Amino acid sequence: MSNTPIELKGSSFTLSVVHLHDANPEVIRQALEDKIAQAPAFLRHAPVVVNIASIEEEVEWRAINEAIAADRFTYYGR
């Protein structure tokens, strides 16, 4: 048993990456719904990384968070 309250270790995981090319939360929500409809058992509740590298305009993080969470993804990154 460790004497420290936490351990931080490196690990490797396979995660899907959602590359955002539009900052409009409604467009994102609809696009995610369309993708989930193609493979619902695979994508529903899937952990994803959100890549925003191509977004240049101002982003409404709360609305984007709600759009992604509405489709029941668990996401990492910002």
Domains of the chain (ranges; CATH) run 16-76 (3.30.70.260)
**Going residue by residue through the chain (78 aa), what tens digit of pLDDT does each one get?**
678 899 989 999 888 899 999 999 999 999 999 998 998 888 878 888 888 899 999 889 899 888 888 877 877 655
For residue 15, CA distances in Å to 6, 12, 29, 35, 44 come to 24, 10, 19, 16, 13
Count of other CB atoms within 10 angstroms of residue 15: 13
Nearest-angstrom CA–CA distance, 54 and 47: 21
Q: What is the pLDDT of residue 78?
A: 53
pTM here is 0.75
Q: What is the pLDDT of residue 1?
A: 62
Name the residue with tokens 């959602």: 18
For residue 16, give Cα distances in angstroms to 1, 3, 9, 48, 56.
34, 35, 21, 5, 22
